[in-house]
Amino acid sequence: MNAIAEAAVPVAASYKPAGQVVIDCHVKSIHYGKFHAVRDSIVPIEKNRITGFIGPSGCGKSTVLRSLNRMNDLVDGFRFDGHVHYHSKDIYAKKVDPVVVRRYIGMVFQQPNPFSMSIYDNVAFGLRLNRYKGDLDERVEKALRSAALWEEVKNKLRNSGLSLSGGQQQRLCIARAIATEPDVLLMDEPCSALDPIATRQVEELMLELKEHYTVALVTHNMQQATRVADTTAFFSVDISGGGRTGYLVEMGPTREIFEAPREKLTRDYISGQFS
Amino acid sequence: MSNIDLTAAVVPLKTPRLERQIFEVRAMKSLALTALTWAAAILASIPLFSVIYMLVVQGGARLDWEALSALPPAGFEMGGGFGNAIVGTLVMVAIATALSVPVGILAALYLAIIGPQSKISEVARFFAKVLTGFPSILAGVFAYATVVLWMGSYSAWAGGIALAVLMLPTVTLAAEEAMKQVPQRMKDAAFGMGCTRSQVIWKVVLPTGMSGILTGVILAVAGAAGESAPLLFTALFSNYYLTELAEPTASLSILIYNFSGMPFENQIELAWAASLVLVLIVLVFNILARVLGRPRY
């Protein structure tokens, strides 16, 4: 292929995860119709850690993240080549139901997206979906407490989820996602629509969540990656083939990526010198 | 040249006149156009207010319990009412609603969510739009040719089906619009929670779009309640209370049409009262649409 591609694959593969790998993602290629979006990226997600995905716009970090719970299946023309092993089962195997995958691997989106229902019903949504038989009130409270939102909303659980501020809405979405106690939480730029104070709160929340959950986080904000991510994956765009194909350049412990990156591309991006 | 003369800027300007100048051309134009829009607005509301005024004055006089409950009087008879016509109108509108709302909402579901870009959708959407501008008498012809000739009699069924044909496109298009208003990110959230497509529709799209759907349904109902042309040769008329849906059925609009042309004072008064009742029914439906159409969250 070309020099960058050949350099990229061995580097990405050379990251030996220290912890237990929950999701082992091997992307050969991802296409949207004719558009070649991502190629050759091996991204292991480790248990009870936060894995940050960074890189410039169009580098495929969101695409890779959304491939981890088959959210991309909803996009017309999406084609995934490779495999994603979740607890050693390939979620792209023919027999696998993407709906079930998403119940184990939850998602928090870029824009806060509560349903137009009460705060309580938003959090209870997934529990009702799974026909949860136990004490609904208790689980809703637990989820809201874990999302650091309980104190702010405990007296207005019947109010609309849409009446909350942006930061509160995003924490409500996190509460909704963790109410069913999923295994993994995928977060696609969860703070990009929030102000610095709300961002801080969500970041602190992420650090608490990793005690119980495994988190994969896409972020545009490199400081955010240094603040919360244990492991960081740097993606870039390859324009050599005429298209704009994203790929994994380098992955490793966050400190190494930011203080001693092995790749020039990573170094340039982190120091703000991108061409 | 480097020394710019700053003194020029310090020269006091002539004090500007900030007061409103009534006889300035621009101000006069503005005044004339404002007056014109006022006049147009008043002119446009004259028909509505004069009709309502006439209805209240002329119809209000005869509006009592007898008028609301009794059967229509014959030729020279005094008293009487149009209770059977109120019941007939409500029953036929109910039949039309029961037929058109489920079909309309399911069609909207297809248009908005299942295959919005498909060929079938494009064709169906086009025909629904054509059907909204359909002359209502042709809906009557359709129901006559199918239901009346087939059953061999004028009936409440035929009237209800004719009204359903008229309501269907309104319900479909309004419901499609309401479902399209549900933001994509809410649907993404539902899929992200592990909903199947039907769960996304039942638990998120329909509840979120419900207020818009209800508004469309109730406005279609209000429109159907006031129709007369499609009932002329489907439900016809009856001087008695409805006992069976397969029989000719009275309706307010046909009663108004019949009685207003009669040479008897009593019938003409009743026609006015019936008109007032019809307007009130439509008004109640409109208010319901407003109240139920308010988003809950």
Render pLDDT for A119-133 as a digit per residue (tens, 0 to 9). Answer: 999 999 999 998 889
Per-residue model confidence as pLDDT tens digits over A29-39: 999 998 999 98
Determine, for residues A115 and B194 on separate chains, whether the beta-carbon distance falls below 8 Å: no
Instruction: Say what the alpha-carbon torsion angle B187, B188, B194, B197 is, to the nearest 10 degrees.
Output: 40
Of B188, B207, B296, the CB nearest to A109: B188
Residues of B in contact with A113 (CB under 8 A): 183, 185-186, 188-189
The stretch A203-215 carries a mean pLDDT of 91
What is d(CA B240, CA B249) in angstroms, rounded to the nearest whole number? 8
Q: Which of A51, A56, A43 is nearest to A253 (CA)?
A: A51
Cα–Cα distance between B297 and A272 in angstroms, integer? 44
pLDDT at residue B242 in the model: 86
Domain tally for chain B? 1
Q: Is residue B59 part of a domain?
A: no
Q: What kind and span of H or E run contains A3? A: helix A3-13
pLDDT at A239: 81
Q: pLDDT tens digit string along B34-83?
A: 999 999 999 999 998 999 999 999 888 888 888 888 888 887 788 888 99
**Sheet (strand A50-54) strand order:** A89-90, A78-86, A21-32, A35-46, A245-253, A231-238, A50-54, A214-218, A184-188, A105-108
Q: Between B83-109 and B206-225, two packed helices, what is the crossing angle to 10 degrees?
A: 140
Position B31 in a domain: no
Residue ranges of alpha helices (H) inside chain B are 7-10, 25-54, 60, 65-69, 83-109, 119-132, 136-143, 149-151, 156-180, 184-192, 197-200, 206-225, 229-232, 252-260, 265-292
- Answer yes or no: are the C-beta atoms of A177 and B193 closer than 8 Å: yes
Q: What is the mean pLDDT of residues A59-69?
A: 93
What's residue B116's pLDDT?
A: 87
Percent of chain B with pLDDT strictly greater than 90 = 53
Predicted confidence (pLDDT) at residue A55 exceeds the cutoff of 60? yes
pLDDT tens digits along B272-281: 999 999 999 9
Using pLDDT thresholds of 50, 70 and 90, give the confidence band for residue B157: very high
The model's confidence at residue B7, banded by pLDDT at 50, 70 and 90, is low
Whether residues B195 and A177 touch (CB distance < 8 A) is answered with no
pLDDT at residue B129 greater than cutoff 80: yes
Using CA atoms, how far apart are residues A88 and A44, in angstroms rounded to an integer? 12
Helix H or strand E encompassing B80: none
Structure tokens at A2: 């070309």
Q: In degrees rounded to 5, what are phi and psi of residue A249?
A: -90, -45
Say which CATH number the domain at B263 has. 1.10.3720.10
The ipTM estimated for the assembled molecules is 0.81
pLDDT class for A3, splitting at 50, 70, 90? very low
Looking at CA atoms only, how far is residue A162 from chain B in angstroms? Answer: 7
pLDDT band at A5; cut points 50, 70, 90: very low
In a domain, B78, yes or no: yes
Q: Is A181 left (phi over 0), alpha (psi -120 to 50) or beta?
A: left
Q: Is residue B60 part of a domain?
A: no
Average pLDDT over residues A252-271: 89
Rounded (5°) CA angle B252-B256-B260: 165
Q: At what angle do helices A119-129 and A136-146 cross, to 10 degrees?
A: 110
CATH topology of domain A3-112+188-270: Rossmann fold (3.40.50)
Mean of pLDDT values over B208-213: 90
Using the predicted structure, report yes or no on whether residue A2 has a pLDDT greater than 60.
no
What DSSP string runs through B226-259?
Answer: T--HHHHTTT---SS----TTS----HHHHHHHH
Q: Do A115 and B199 touch (CB under 8 A)?
A: no
Q: Is the pLDDT of residue B17 over 90?
A: no
Q: In which band, very low, low, confident or very high, does the pLDDT at B9 lie, cut at 50, 70 and 90?
A: low
Q: How confident is the model at residue A146 (pLDDT cuts 50, 70, 90)?
A: confident
Instruction: Give me the domain span that covers residue B136.
Output: 68-292
CB–CB contact B186 A113 (8 Å): yes
- B191 contact residues in A (CB cutoff 8 A): 71, 74, 102
Please enumerate, as own/partner, the contacts of A88-91 that have beta carbons within 8 Å and a separation of 24 or more: none
DSSP per position, A188-208: ESTTTTS-HHHHHHHHHHHHH
Mutate to test the interface with B, among A86, A116, A160, A185 (most CBs of B within 10 A): A116
Locate tokens 């694959």: which residue? A9
Task: Over range A215-240, report the average pLDDT.
Answer: 91
Average pLDDT, chain B: 89
Q: What is the pLDDT of residues B217-256, one digit of tens each?
A: 988 998 899 888 899 888 888 888 888 888 888 999 999 9
Answer whether residue B159 shows pLDDT above 90: yes
Name the band, by pLDDT with cuts 50, 70 and 90, for residue B10. low
Kindly state the average pLDDT of the residues A89-98: 91
Other CB atoms within 10 Å distance of the CB of residue A117: 20
**Mean per-residue pLDDT, A82-90:** 91
% of chain A at pLDDT higher than 70: 94
Task: Evaluate if residue A248 carries a pLDDT over 80.
Answer: yes
Distances (CA, A) of B102 to A93, A214, B95, B129, B184: 38, 45, 12, 18, 24
